[in-house]
Chains A and B, each alone.
Chain A
Amino acid sequence: MRPEDESPPEGRPHAGPPGLDELLSRVARGDRGAFEQVYALVSAPVYGVVLRVVRDRAQSEEVTQEALVEVWRAAARYDRERGSAMAWVMTIAHRRAIDRVRSAQAGADRESRAARMDVHRPFDEVAESVAARLEQERLRRCLTGLTDLQRESVTFAYYGGYSYREVAELLKVPLATVKTRMRDGLIRLRDCLGVER
């Protein structure tokens, strides 16, 4: 049975802002006006996630620029069968951010980043839009439902940009445990958020 055949759970939020799919297909045809609308929809999430990983504002703007230019360049390669348009954009942004820190940062530097991270308060920026605030609130509630190890494994990896090996080292737990906690933590989060599959 395909997931589309199931009735959606109540109150399920949409997977991305409406119309991003359609806008991307116009961008793929070289439509700059459509790209401006894409920019309006995704620039804050993209910059936000890059900033979480990279930390430095100037570098984060550079990485955001790289990621959004990549969205322009590769728009024709977006395949809606493989996931939502927002997830596609966020994947590009997150990968770019991780590439930046993995190539640039030495161990000591990364540990100081770890020290600055507070996994119990994963959002240190106050969201500016109502929608983002609601999203934060929902996510905060769902993160509370994870075990400490699940939450730390997921947030160190995603917001910290750490590999699972690094997370295992930081948290002093076996590799297999971290892998498992990343997976079951994300699964619990997915179910709590009612993410479309």
Chain B
Amino acid sequence: MTGQGGGPDVHALAGAYALHAIDDDGELRRFERHLARCAECSQEVRGLAETAARLGQAAAVEPSPALRDRIMAEIGQVRQLPPLVAPSPRSALSGSPARPWRGLLAGWLRWRPRLAAAIAATAVAAAVVLGVVTVRTQTGLDQLRAADREVTAVLAAPDARSTTVPAGAAGGTVVVSRSQGKMVFLASGLAALPDSSTYQLWQIGPRGARSAGLFRQDGTGYISPVVAATADGATKVGVTVEPAGGSEQPTTQPLLLLNLPTA
């Protein structure tokens, strides 16, 4: 194994995974963690799982008619699971008001260790800022709460998937929940900008770039996460520097580009 980082050996497990042929729980979890951050791998696994299902379909055999009756009788007594949805804002905010999504983020990140490392700095910065704001202004806190509820909902979505560009000069993590139809972008390592300009987030697809919003920056240089509805067909997100107020279309070269996770 090449360990947490992945590498060719981890990729080789895609076939065994699709065939349900991994019987070691630790290895299975490691592979699933790898899948969560490797869009290409989850795409491959999907195709291989469809293929495995075809092997199953070719083995079709009619069961006895009595089985149908037994199953129809049993479902009458089985309560159905509700659809997966994000927790309600109230439950998400039931903790201390100053840390609405910190705990959730921490829990979520336990399963995505590399992501944790990549955005730890952002999360800590956010926590500090949230603490400061609590005592600063009630209005600011309300605004943050509304934004945090949105961040929380996306991070808490069971289908949340992420892509990270490790922080170098500029890095970031995009978390997408298809069920929520939303994405959260957490920037890291972006330098503070003068008031005359702003960082702008774009979703980029075959039909070009579409603004996903501006990054808010506070007096401490902390840059808030951006939450946006996922645009149809978008495959990448990018960040550019634009004049204050933002632009209709990007006017500068992107500082970073990330592929959106596909599943």
* Residues of A in contact with B (beta carbons under 8 Å apart): 1-2, 5, 15, 28, 30, 32, 35-36, 39, 43-49, 51-52, 61, 64-65, 68-69, 72-77, 79, 81-84, 86-87, 90-91, 93-95, 98, 102, 122-123, 125, 127-129, 132, 135-136, 138-139, 153-155, 157-159, 162-167, 176, 178-187, 189-190, 193, 195-197
Contact = CB atoms under 8 A, between A and B. Distances in A.
Give the one of A30, A65, A123, A154 with max B CB within 10 A.
A154
Contacts of B48: 183, 186-187, 190
A185 B16 CA distance: 11
Contacts of A182: 15-16, 19, 21
Nearest to A3: B43
B107 interface: no
Interface stretch (B55-63, B94-102, B112-120, B249-257): B55-63
A46 B251 CA distance: 55
Interface in B51-75: 51-64, 67-68, 70-72, 74-75
B19 A197 contact: no
Interface of B: 9, 11-16, 18-24, 43-44, 46-64, 67-68, 70-72, 74-76, 78-84, 159, 178-179, 206, 233, 235, 263
Contacts of B263: 81-82
Nearest to B57: A45
B51 A123 contact: no
Given A48-B61, A123-B58, A158-B55, A184 B15 contact: yes
Nearest to B262: A2
Contacts of A153: 15
Contacts of A86: 53, 57
Nearest first, the 3 closest Cβ-Cβ pairs linking A and B are A183-B15, A182-B15, A49-B56
A152 B249 CA distance: 54
B80 A136 contact: no
B61 A47 contact: yes
Given A28-B80, A128-B61, A186 B51 contact: yes
B206 A5 contact: yes
Contacts of B49: 83, 87, 91
A65 B12 contact: no
A172 to B, nearest CB: 17
Contacts of B56: 45-46, 48-49, 52, 90, 93-94, 158
Given A182-B16, A196-B50, A164 B83 contact: no
Nearest to B74: A69
A136 B23 CA distance: 28
A183 B59 contact: no
A25 to B, nearest CB: 10
Contacts of B55: 49, 122, 139, 154-155, 158-159, 189
Given A159-B55, A186-B51, A193-B54, A61 B81 contact: no
A179 B67 contact: no
A83 B78 contact: no
B81 A135 contact: no
B9 A176 contact: yes
Contacts of B12: 176, 179-180, 183
A95 B20 contact: yes
Contacts of B20: 91, 94-95, 98, 157-158
Nearest to A75: B80
B59 A125 contact: yes
B19 A157 contact: yes
Given A157-B19, A187-B48, A36 B72 contact: yes
A75 B55 CA distance: 23
Contacts of A64: 63, 67
Given A45-B60, A51-B59, A186-B51, 17 more contacts: A39-B68, A43-B67, A47-B67, A61-B67, A65-B67, A68-B71, A76-B84, A79-B178, A79-B179, A82-B263, A83-B49, A87-B52, A94-B20, A162-B21, A163-B23, A178-B16, A190-B50
Contacts of B52: 87, 90-91, 94, 158, 186
Contact of B46 (A82, A162, A165): A82
A185 B59 CA distance: 18
B263 to A, nearest CB: 6
